[in-house]
């Protein structure tokens, strides 16, 4: 139980500290989603509930990861890197 909380807070800390790279932000968000999945799976297994909701959550997190990866690829193709400093957000 504490492992999932430590995973969540370390993922949030990396998300806050590595905010200049889009790839590192996406990886830390995936780590946070993985820690939430672990916490939810442990919680549901302790009360012997069905794990159908965890399967739906895992499916949605995979879709979120694929969407983030496609955004990363399109930004690297248009701007050349994943630094936020090179993006001109005022266009």
Quick one: average pLDDT of 5-10? Answer: 94
Q: Which residues of 69-79 are buried (b: 16+ CB within 10 A; e: fewer)?
A: eeeeeebeeee
What's the pLDDT score for residue 61? 93
DSSP for the chain reads -HHHHHHHHHHHHHHHHTTTBHHHHHHHHHHHHHHHHHHHHHHHHHTT--SHHHHHHHHHHHHHHHHHHHHHHHHHHHHSS-BSTT--TT-
Backbone φ, ψ for residue 8 (5° rounding): -65, -50
Per-residue pLDDT at 26: 92
Q: How many CB atoms lie within 10 A of CB 83?
A: 12
Over residues 24-77, the pLDDT tens digits come to 999 999 999 999 999 998 888 888 888 788 889 989 999 999 999 998 898 888
Domains and CATH numbers, the chain: 2-79 (1.10.287.3510)
The pTM of the full predicted model, rounded to 2 decimals, is 0.84
């Amino acid at each position: 139980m504490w492992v999932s909380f430590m995973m969540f807070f370390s993922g949030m800390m990396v998300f806050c500290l590595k905010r200049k790279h889009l790839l590192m932000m996406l990886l830390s968000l995936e780590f946070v989603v993985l820690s939430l999945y672990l916490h939810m799976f442990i919680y549901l297994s302790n009360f012997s509930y069905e794990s159908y909701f965890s399967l739906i959550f895992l499916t949605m997190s995979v879709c979120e990861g694929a969407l983030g990866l496609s955004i990363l690829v399109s930004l690297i193709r248009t701007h050349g890197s994943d630094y936020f400093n090179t993006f001109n957000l005022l266009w």
